[in-house]
Amino acid sequence: MSVPRVHVQDQEVTPNILSNKQDVAELVPLLTAEGYLKQIPVAILPNSSNKGYCRVVLDEASIKHFVAHFMQQHVTTYNRTYLWRILFDHIKMLKMQPKQFLDIVIENLILEKQPHVIPFILDRSRVILELYLGDAEVAKASQQRLCDVIKAKLNDNMTDQSLRNMLLDYFILFSDASNEQMQG
């Protein structure tokens, strides 16, 4: 069985991946003392690259940092997808408001280029809209904003026809749900 990896970043956005059995609390001081990190870590992603089975709860500082740097080169597609899964899990654990997740989606979806990540994000958004967001007005506004982002992605010279079709399906899904709420 492999040891879960830990992704640690400092304020210079210098990623360090650790694969060590020592507790993270012991590793961080060692890293800063030995000069591996330029500054004190601002974000830690336990179980980086999802090499083990555990439920991860991020602190507010790590959430804020990773959300601000989602689409940067040093955050791999694998870790970005893992972060989306963690953020969705935070809603189920009542550690994050559903609207906050949707706001993060709306801000970052336009930048996402990986065809396998986009349906993952949109499907989680659909579940949140259907099951977790109680305020109909907020849901309607979020659905409209999601439709706007999807429309922008569709107009973004997309060459992958299957991704284009999938985005059209989600556009129709969110548009229909928004229209049903207006009528209901």
Instruction: Report helix, strand or coil for 161.
Output: helix
Angle at alpha carbon of residue 8, lines to 92 and 2, rounded to 5°: 75
Verify that 3 and 87 share a domain, yes or no.
Answer: yes
Residue range(s) defining the domain that contains residue 165? 98-184
pLDDT tier at 120, thresholds 50, 70, 90: very high
Domain boundary among 96, 116, 135: 96
Verify that 57 and 26 share a domain, yes or no.
Answer: yes
Verify that 66 and 129 share a domain, yes or no.
Answer: no
Across 124-128, 130-134, 166-170, least confident range: 130-134
Q: Structural domain tally of the chain?
A: 2
In this predicted structure, what is the pLDDT of residue 47? Answer: 59
